[in-house]
């Protein structure tokens, strides 16, 4: 379930635009993975403050066993991490140092944990007379790097390496951390005991609403409104119509070497399924297929449409 999406920026600064596009790409992959999982809440672009410290969180996943924070990094060239965990990147043919996004996401975890721990009596129930807390939950932080970046892993600490992922694998990586499959099923063995404490559904709703209410970013939303918007966005309809003769009958989507399309039985003309987004007009869209259902997703405004 997507509770808060990343809002596209109108900035013309190339670095800002590249950073926003990277966050939109990660948000797209998270949406594609978790939009139908009701017990997984995904937030994009959150800001919290605690004791004069600020956490700007690119992506946050709340699931029954805990939290995953994701720091997005737009890197067009090469990135390298040496044996001292120091980061550097290539920029216009030269190597320059850069702050560690792993350190950044770890600091964000500390701030968010402190924010939630200050409200544990309001957000969590008591169990056998003992107050539940946030400290014993699973807290994970990873970095998602641009898909076109080159990662030099030769001297990278193995622990750091496991927390560094390219954007297109973010859904797979986060599901692995949560120990669930792509369909939301637990991957814990039947012969193993999952000892991780779980939030109940009521606690998760309280936590989600508190996160939205406490968010200091500009594009604030309410849990009820965002859930409604997500449902509406996910159920948007695009009717198949032949681009040549406007026929509506007997059109069946197919896949070919150039992507998804349908052939008109009346005039035999092929019409591609890829279209501009009708909401924002962007051409940055993707067509996907789940079982027999085809859909169009906009990378810019994150709207999703279903073909009928």
pLDDT 10s digits, 104-154: 999 999 999 999 999 999 999 988 888 999 988 999 999 999 888 888 888
For residues 80 and 198, state if they share a domain.
yes
Q: Kindly write down the DSSP assignment for every residue of 108-137, as one continuous string.
A: HHHHHHHHHHTTHHHHS-EETTEE--STTS
Query: Residue 43 corresponds to which tokens in the numbers above?
Result: 């937030």
pLDDT value, residue 10? 62
244 and 221, same structural domain?
Answer: no
Confidence of residue 293 (pLDDT cuts 50, 70, 90): confident
Q: Which long-range contacts (CB under 8 A, 24 or more apart) does 214-218 make?
A: 214/48, 214/115, 215/4, 215/46, 215/47, 215/48, 216/47, 216/48, 216/49, 216/54, 217/45, 217/46, 217/47, 218/7
DSSP state of 158: H
Higher pLDDT, 70 or 237: 70
On whether both 129 and 259 belong to a single domain, the answer is: no
Are both 162 and 240 inside the same structural domain? no
Tokens 């996004």 belong to 101
Task: Tell me which of 86 and 217 has the higher pLDDT.
Answer: 86
Q: Which of 232, 261, 276 is the last residue of a domain?
A: 232
The larger pLDDT score, comparing residue 123 to residue 242, is at 123
pLDDT at 224 over 70: no
Question: Mean of the per-residue pLDDT values for the chain?
Answer: 84
What is residue 237's predicted lDDT score, i.e. its pLDDT?
A: 75
Percent of all residues in the chain with a pLDDT value above 70, rounded to a whole number: 90
- pLDDT for 121 equals 93
Q: pLDDT digits over 179-202, tens only?
A: 998 778 888 877 777 888 999 999
Q: What is the DSSP letter of 180?
A: B
d(C-alpha 59, C-alpha 64), whole Å: 17
Domain boundary among 198, 213, 232: 232
**Closest CA relative to residue 76, chosen from 17, 29, 28:** 17
Number of H helices, E strands in the chain: 7, 19
User: Who contacts 27 (Cβ-Cβ below 8 Å, separation ≥6)?
Assistant: 5, 6, 44, 59, 302
Looking at residue 220, its pLDDT comes to 54
Whether residues 249 and 216 share a domain: the answer is: no
pTM of the model as a whole = 0.72
The answer to whether residues 210 and 139 belong to one domain is: yes
Q: What is the mean pLDDT of residues 163-182?
A: 92
> With contact defined as beta carbons under 8 Å apart, do 26 and 144 qualify?
yes
Whole-angstrom distance, CA of residue 170 vs CA of residue 144: 7
Residue 119 backbone class (left: φ over 0; alpha: ψ -120 to 50; beta: rest): alpha
pLDDT for the residue numbered 284: 80
**Same domain? 264 vs 221:** no
Residues 157, 246 within the same domain: no
How many whole angstroms separate alpha carbon 294 and alpha carbon 143?
Answer: 30
Q: Domain count of the chain? A: 2
Q: Among residues 186, 209, 232, which one ends one of the domains?
A: 232
Task: Tell me what pLDDT residue 259 has.
Answer: 82
Question: Crossing angle, helix 14-34 and helix 170-178, to 10 degrees?
Answer: 50
What phi, psi does 50 have (nearest 5°)? -150, 125
Dihedral angle computed from the Cα positions of residues 240, 243, 247 and 249, in that order, rounded to the nearest 10 degrees:
-30
In this prediction, what percent of the chain has a pLDDT beyond 90?
35
Could you tell me if 159 and 248 lie in one domain? Answer: no
Regarding whether 205 and 297 lie in a shared domain, the answer is no
Domain containing 62: what range?
A: 2-232
pLDDT at residue 233 greater than cutoff 50: no
User: Is residue 248's pLDDT more than 50?
Assistant: yes
**Residue 301 scores a pLDDT above 60:** yes
The model's pLDDT over 11-66, given as tens digits with 9 standing for 90+, comes to: 667 777 788 888 888 998 998 899 888 899 999 999 999 998 999 999 999 999 99
Q: Tell me: do 291 and 205 sit in the same domain.
A: no
Q: Are residues 115 and 132 in the same domain?
A: yes
Q: Give the confidence band of 289 by pLDDT, cuts at 50, 70, 90.
A: confident
Q: Is the dihedral of CA 67, 68, 71, 74 positive or negative?
A: negative
């Amino acid at each position: 379930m997507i509770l808060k999406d990343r809002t596209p920026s109108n900035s013309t600064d190339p670095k800002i635009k590249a950073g926003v596009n990277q966050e939109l790409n990660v948000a797209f992959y998270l949406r594609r993975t978790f939009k139908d999982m009701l017990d997984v809440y995904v937030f994009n672009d959150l800001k919290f403050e605690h004791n004069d410290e600020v956490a700007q969180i690119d992506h946050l996943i709340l699931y029954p066993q805990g939290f995953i924070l994701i720091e997005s990094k737009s890197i067009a060239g090469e990135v390298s991490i040496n044996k001292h965990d120091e980061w550097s990147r290539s920029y216009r043919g030269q190597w320059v140092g850069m702050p560690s996004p792993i350190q950044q996401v770890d600091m964000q975890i500390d701030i968010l944990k402190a924010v939630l721990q200050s409200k544990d009596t309001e957000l969590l129930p008591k169990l056998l007379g003992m107050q539940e807390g946030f400290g014993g939950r699973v807290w994970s932080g990873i970095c998602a790097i641009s898909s076109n970046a080159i990662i030099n892993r030769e001297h990278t600490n193995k622990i750091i390496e496991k927390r560094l992922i390219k954007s297109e694998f973010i859904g797979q990586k986060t599901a692995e951390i949560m120990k669930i499959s792509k369909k939301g099923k637990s991957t814990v063995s039947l012969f193993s005991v999952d000892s991780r404490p779980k939030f109940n559904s009521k606690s998760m709703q309280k936590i989600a609403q508190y996160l939205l209410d406490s968010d200091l970013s500009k594009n604030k939303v309410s849990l009820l409104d965002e859930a409604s918007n997500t449902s509406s966005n996910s159920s948007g309809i695009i009717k198949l119509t032949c681009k040549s003769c406007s026929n509506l009958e007997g059109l069946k989507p197919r896949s070919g070497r150039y992507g998804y399309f349908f052939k008109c039985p009346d005039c035999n003309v092929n019409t591609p399924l890829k279209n501009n987004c009708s909401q924002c007009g962007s051409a940055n869209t993707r067509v996907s297929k789940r079982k027999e259902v085809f859909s169009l997703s906009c990378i810019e405004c994150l709207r999703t449409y279903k073909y009928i």
